Amino acid sequence: MSSALFTPIRLGEFTIPNRIAVAPMCMYSADDGSATDWHVQHWMSLAMSGAGMITFEATGVERRGRISMNCTGLYSDANEAAMARALAPARRVAAPGAVFGVQLGHAGRKASTQLPWLGGGPLTPEQDAWQTVGPSAVPFAPDWPVPEALDEAGIERVVAAFVQAAERAHRIGLDFVELHGAHGYLLHEFLSPISNKRSDRWGGSLENRMRLIVTVARAVRAALPESMFVGARLSSTDWVEGGFTVEEAIEVASALKAEGVVYICASSGGNAHDQKIPLGPLYQVDFATRIREGAGIPTRAVGLITTPAEAEALLREGRADMVALARAILADPRWPWRAAYELGGEPYAPPQYLRSLTTVKHWVVEEDDD
Ligand SMILES: Cc1cc2nc3c(=O)[nH]c(=O)nc-3n(C[C@H](O)[C@H](O)[C@H](O)COP(=O)(O)O)c2cc1C
């Protein structure tokens, strides 16, 4: 029986060779938004895995929309040139047909934070904190800075920034952009009644709360050629009473599909400081299934999917169309090679590393014999 994980999938105008996606992962290693040598080696390493879809980290569409001082951005010519420089070698070592994209985001009220390994949390004025923005003047947590509520002109500026960043992604030669509508960042902040207390056309009803992400999707789609596709990541629930729900996520996914968005990555949480997440293997997969069935759009499942067998089973059961891996593929960028031998797929390694495949096969077969 052939492997579901290694069955090609069509997204936009691309036929992607397998259903393994590298999830977007911030590296906190950029220089004023520009990718550095760290990104060159990191993206090459992930691309060598043979994964079919590689999504570059949350990238600020404007400077103040970066999560931290060292997050990537696409707000300047220098940022554009740096990402193009890092993309080229990654493409050269990737599997034929693999697609590369960037997650475009705006960190909103959760911008201006310290690097996680220095403790995270908001920057202090001494650390050059900057003024954050959000749908309303409601901080992420009581001890976080109060964001400035965006006015109409501010919202227009954000939409224009998404479009400009998408145009840069096109010039760089990326295949897709992913709108970051998750994890408590600006687009999610507008979606969620916890952070959006507006009474104008951008707040209140779900139709109003989703207006920003839908407007951004429409504008970005219109700015890109058909040869590029657009996806989105959503937090399917806020994991607190009175927060954004999966039923609402299904409606948002339907509206995004109508704007030409071709996949949803079903994540969760990040907008409520008191969220209670029932962490465990595959804990978000049901959201991907519900959005897939409710909105009729391909979904990427993500979250504690760690073994090839788990990934294969969830695809085979029709619970999602792709899987995205973050920590597992960071820990083992050869995960897809092992998966191929375990599941009967075809591994892809760059020719320089081909001789190592017999070793990987030996490991997998030996493990099976135990
Ligand atoms: C180092 C690291 C950086 C991350 N950065 C991002 C990001 O830029 N954008 C995003 O949507 N999620 C980000 N995430 C979340 C992952 O994409 C993923 O949703 C989450 O880690 C759960 O998947 P996993 O269990 O396979 O790690 C990050 C996760 C890690 C571990």
Model confidence pLDDT, tens digit, residues 19-73: 999 999 999 999 999 999 999 999 999 999 999 999 999 999 999 999 999 999 9
SS3 content of the chain, % helix, strand, coil (to 5): 40, 15, 45
Structural domain harbouring 209: 9-335
Specify the pTM. 0.98
Question: Is position 360 within any domain?
Answer: no
357 part of a folded domain: no
> Would you please indicate which residues are annotated as catalytic (active-site) residues?
185
Which residue reads 């020719």 in tokens? Answer: 351
**Domain presence at residue 363:** no
Q: Is residue 1 included in any domain, yes or no?
A: no
Number of domains in the chain: 1
Whether residue 277 is contained in a domain is answered as: yes
Atom of ligand 1 nearest to the CA of 324: 26
CA atoms within 13 A on the CB side of 323: 34
66 lines ligand 1 (CB under 6 A): no
Residue 356 lies in a domain: no
Find where tokens 């992607």 sit.
16
Contact call for residues 206 and 76 (beta carbons, < 8 A): no
Whichever domain contains 29, its CATH number is 3.20.20.70
- Determine the average pLDDT of the residues in 99-125: 98
Over residues 332-360, the mean pLDDT reads: 96
Q: Looking at the domain assignment, is residue 24 inside a domain? A: yes
Regarding the beta carbon of 292 and ligand 1, being less than 6 Å apart is answered: no
Query: Is the CB–ligand 1 distance for residue 281 below 6 Å?
Result: no
Q: pLDDT tens digits, residue range 173-214?
A: 999 999 999 999 999 999 999 999 999 999 999 999 999 999
Protein residue with least CA distance to atom 7, ligand 1: 25
Q: How far is the CA of 157 from the centre of ligand 1 (A)?
A: 27
Strand, helix or coil for residue 355: helix
Whether 361 maps to a domain, the answer reads: no
What is the end-to-end Cα distance of the chain in Å, rounded? 23
Question: How far, in Å, from the CA of 79 to the mean position of ligand 1?
Answer: 22
- Å from CA of 57 to ligand 1 middle: 9
CA-wise closest residue to 324 among 267, 261, 270: 267
Ligand 1 center–CA 365 separation, angstroms: 31
